[in-house]
Amino acid sequence: MGYAWAAGAIVASTLVGLAMTPRFDLVNIAMVYLLAVVLIALRFARGPTIAASVLGVAAFDYFFVHPAGTFHVDDPQYLLTFGMMLAVGLIVSHLTEAVRKRARAQAALALEAETERVRSALLASISHDLRTPLAVISGASSSLAQRGERLGADERRALALDIFARSNEMAELVDKVLQMTRLESSAMQLERDWDSLGEIAGSVLRRLRERLANHLVMVELPAGLPLVRVDTTLIEQVLTNLMENAARHTPPRTLIRLRAQHLGGELRVSVEDFGPGLAAGDLERVFDKFNHGAAGGVGLGLSICRAIVSLHQGRIWAEALPGGGSAFRFTLPVETPPAIPAEALAR
């Protein structure tokens, strides 16, 4: 590519030079070639620059230096011109290369600093979120171990249940971090298969039974929703995070509505809540990593959702609902599944 440009630049310079003869001195024509060499040096690496210099010298010699039409040189002072042209080309090429290198290093450094900042924010967040359950676990288990015989059966049971609940909380957090890391690695491969949103919703609601127990959950899935080809585990995670979020950020006894619609070649899934809602500025920001909600938590949930949905070529966004509350919606592309052989319905 660079070599083609070098050749092109020299051809152009030759044409300009031919137009200039005989009104201009040979020295000025040499300047035209020099300009071409400098331009090539600024734009491309050393190779094309040397090529441009050599071609330039050759063309200058052949077309302009007496005797024209040969590579023979009568006046030895043109040898100096050739040398100069080559030297200037190399120096400019060297300088631009150095500047380019430094710019690249700075960009890499900035990226590294950003990655580092994100990573330490993540670590700080995680260790903060792990510390509370850990404190409960070590406190409760040590009192069971050392004071167990002095505690009533109910108290022992309560302590053991605390340990169980808190360790599950930690396991979930660790899973989320692992998942985020996996989603961000370029090696992430979706394992897509046909699935129905009804089934995914069903297992999410089952998994979150206890956490949704204090809310009113309404499910609106119209009959005849198409199947989608998705990585089931991941889409289930998206819906789990959205439902969990809705439960965490809204007061008990309020409604959470899970809906799906088939709209213009897409499946649109919505989780709507009737809590305090989001500020306009937060609608986009909630999907950022470590955006701590009011109730704490690493705030990885929604950024995981965004990563998963975009891997599926879908979109995800938040909307403020009129009259308070917020809606989180995502889309999944709809394809036609292969036909299922019709079954004779006779008994």
Partner 1 sequence: MTRATILVVEDEADIRRFLRSSLGAEGYRVVESPNGRRGTLDAGMHRPDLAIVDLGLPDFDGVEVIRRIREWSPMPIVVLSARVQERAKIEALDAGADDYVTKPFGVGELLARVRAALRHATRPAGKALSIGEVAIDFEKRRADRNGTPVHLTPVEFRLLACLAQHLDMVVTHRQLLTEVWGPTHVSDTHYLRVYMKQLREKLEADPVQPKHLLTETGVGYRLVSET
- Span from 1-9, 75-83, 122-130, 203-211 in contact with partner 1 (CB under 8 A): 203-211
Residue of 201, 238, 327, 332 that binds partner 1 (CB under 8 A): 201
| Helix H or strand E segment including 173 | helix 153-184
Instruction: Show contacts with partner 1 in window 158-177 (CB under 8 A).
Output: 164, 167-168, 171, 175
Binding partner 1 by CB under 8 A: which of 104, 194, 218, 324?
194
Which amino acid, one-letter code, is at 182? R
Nearest CA among 259, 202, 253 for reference residue 232: 202
> 195 vs 319, which CB is nearer to partner 1?
195
Q: Are 263 and 273 in contact (CB under 8 A)?
A: no
Nearest-angstrom CA–CA distance, 44 and 41: 5
253 is a site residue for partner 1 (CB under 8 A): no
Q: Rule CB under 8 A: is residue 345 a binding residue for partner 1?
A: yes
Question: Pattern of binders to partner 1 over 204-233, x per CB under 8 A?
Answer: -xx------------x-x-----x----xx
Q: Is 340 in the site for partner 1 (CB under 8 A)?
A: yes
CB of 268 to partner 1, least distance (A): 17
Contacts for 90-96: CB closer than 8 Å, 24+ residues apart: 90/41, 90/46, 90/49, 90/50, 90/53, 92/37, 92/38, 92/41, 92/42, 92/49, 93/41, 93/44, 93/45, 93/46, 93/49, 93/50, 94/46, 96/41, 96/42
**CB of 269: closest distance to partner 1 in angstroms?**
13
- Is residue 196 at the binding interface for partner 1, with CB under 8 A as the rule? yes
Query: Could you give the CA distance from residue 274 to residue 250 in angstroms, rounded to a whole number?
Result: 7
Contacts with partner 1 by CB under 8 A lie at 164, 167-168, 171, 175, 178, 191, 193-196, 198-203, 205-206, 219, 221, 227, 232-233, 236, 337-338, 340, 343-345, 347
